A and B are shown apart, each in its own frame.
Chain A
Amino acid sequence: MMIDYQNRTASRGTTSPLAAELSSVVKRFTNAKGEVFTAVNGLDLRIRRGEVVAFLGPNGAGKTTSIDMLLGLTRPDEGEVRLFGVSPEQAVRAGRVAAVLQSGGLLPDLTVEATVHMLASLHPGADPERCMARANITELRARRVAACSGGEQQRLRFALALLSRPDFLVLDEPTAGMDVVARRDFWAAVREDAARGMTVMFATHYMEEADQFADRVVMINKGAVVADGSASSIRAATSGRTVSAVLSPYEAGVVSRTPGVRSTAVRGDRTFFTCTDSDALLRVLVGETQARDIEVAPRSLEEAFMAITENAGRAESAANALKENV
């Protein structure tokens, strides 16, 4: 059965070109001691129909809170969220938006089949057997949810998200707990839907996933967007290696002028060089200085975040420049 997204969009009667629109959204939480913590701090994000967007950020960046607000599960304290021009609750109840959430949401005493059929009954015209096949859980049908592995439960959540044949699929770290094969199959299934025009937004820790599957990468940190651009532009910002060594400040100054060194930072007795050509830098360190304990490490996502957020002003303008490119 082919799903004709164009027709569906027309029959659902919306004209908004945006799948999602978050405008200056703020969410604060108060802990038991009465301290106020701002999880999302003025987030602005527009997602066009048909886009596949990766949502990246370190732990505690506000990804899950943002997704909860996007789905209407949490109300923002300030700002507004619109999906297809209507409120998240309306869009979710109408089956236009579906989500694969990180954990929970399944009844342990039900079988996989009962879970799918029970929830399918709520969506008019749902095809539970087809959704189970798409999520590759048909052989698990008789298994109780409690006996399923984390990856299998994640596939079950994916099947449930497909029931309403959504126009917009939101995935919160969807491949957590999946093995390599399951991960590959999962993304193949998502890609198939995206090719037919479904809008997809996924939160992830894995830069490779963002790289391989997203048209656009949005990075957030401390509850706000710090970078927004094509996967390749973000990759450029996160590429490179970090070389660190113990050496004197004078020598560090000399080395930092080597071509390809982007930035230098001193932490403890070590000096960290971020560079695009680590081989050239190593030759300089070994050949021309007294450097000891040299280490070379690929730049992690966290370091990329730090690089982007450290130069707040520059990052801001870079983010704006990237936004214009999208």
Chain B
Amino acid sequence: MAAVTAPAAARTSVFNGVNPTFVRHELRRRFNRQTTIFTVLLPAVLYLALFRTAPSGGASLPHGNFAAWMMIGQAVYGAATAAVSSAATISVEKSVGWMRTIAMSPLTPPGYLLVKVLCSVLMAGVPVAIVGALGALTGAQADANVWVVSLLVAWIGAAVFAALGIGMGLAMKPDVVMHMPGLTMTALAFLGNLFIPLSGVMLEVSRYTPMYGVATLARYPLNDGFSFHGEHSSVAGAVFNLLAWFAGFSFLAIRRFRKSTGRP
């Protein structure tokens, strides 16, 4: 019996209880029709619709072609949408009192958040892989390092939106949260220079929006930071944007989380 029952003192990790079975069930809950449409289908369809829409006057990129530019944009969009899809499940969990059930289990609050972030990151890999494969099939061309670095940044950058998903899920009611994340992400993607090449005032506005940082960093190996109109975006500015939004979303998520469980 002693072999099966771990003494209380042995459970010291704050991530106690995080295990593959729990994560697998969590992922299965996340992959419903709604999230599949927004995270897998929409980025793929948008890529196919837009990869030939290079700006008139010729799109010259130092390390690849316009299809690669669009592919990276859709990968960032898909990954972000997948990451934020935790909002729907968290909102339901909060409204039905699942948090109380979890509070009565060995899974600690940090462990609960880790599961959410882990599932978001795993889900974010799916649209990146699909859009990447579509790009390869439809003639996206870029240097080898662009393929690796850009898609990797698109995937890992989804962490910013994993935090946003947790905050939204805790802040909103389930019936509202059904559509909000998908619509918000699509709007942010337009603003963040992901779908249509922005320039001038729009690009200036874009610099302050949450997807700009990830998008600029992901495309940096492809365009060295230059827009099609020659405007330059620095790595430092993009990193600052990414970190600032990540900090902001994490703060919102953690504050909401503390309120929701009544724990300090």
Tell me the total A-B contact number using a CB cutoff of 8 A.
Answer: 101
B108: which A residues are within 8 A, CB to CB? 93
Interface size class of A (residues with CB under 8 A): 35 or more
Other than the given A122-B19, A122-B106, 13 more pairs (CB < 8 A) read A3-B1, A7-B2, A75-B262, A86-B8, A107-B98, A109-B29, A118-B21, A118-B22, A119-B105, A120-B21, A121-B22, A123-B105, A124-B4
Cα separation A121 to B22 with both chains bound (whole Å) = 6
* Contact yes or no, B106 A13, CB < 8 A: no
Binds B, one of A44-52, A98-106, A271-279: A98-106
Check: A114 CB closer than 8 A to any chain B CB. yes
Residues of A within 8 A of B98 (CB): 105-107
0/1 interface trace, chain B 1-27, chain A, CB 8 Å (1 if under):
110111111010000110101100110
Contact across chains for A13 and B7 when beta carbons are under 8 A apart: yes
A3–B173 Cα gap in the complex (Å)?
43
Q: Of all chain A residues, which has the CB nearest B99?
A: A105
Q: Does A94 contact B (CB under 8 A)?
A: yes
Give bound CA distance, A160 to B2, whole Å: 22
In the complex the two chains form, what is the Cα distance from A164 to B6 in whole Å? 11
Give A123 to B102 CA distance when docked, in angstroms: 11
Cβ of A174 within 8 Å of any chain B Cβ, yes or no, is no
Known: A118-B21, A121-B22, A122-B17. A108 touches B7 (CB 8 A): no
Instruction: Find B101's partner among A12, A96, A106 (CB 8 Å cutoff).
Output: A106
Chain A CB within 8 A of B93 CB: yes
B104 at the interface (CB under 8 A from A): yes
* Chain A residues with CB below 8 A from B7, complex form: 11-13
B19 touches A121 (CB 8 A): yes
Instruction: State A319–B21 Cα separation when bound (angstroms).
Output: 50
Q: How far is the CB of B22 from chain A (nearest CB, A)?
A: 5
Residues of B within 8 A of A (CB): 1-2, 4-9, 11, 16-17, 19, 21-22, 25-26, 28-29, 32, 92-93, 96-98, 100-101, 103-108, 262
Shortest CB-to-CB span from B62 to chain A, Å, is: 48
Which of B5, B16, B32, B101 interacts with A119 by CB under 8 Å? B101
Query: Does A261 lie at the interface of the complex (its beta carbon under 8 Å from any beta carbon of B)?
Result: no
Binding site for B on A (CB under 8 A): 3-4, 7-8, 11-13, 71-75, 86, 90, 92-96, 98-99, 101, 103-110, 114, 117-125, 160, 164-165
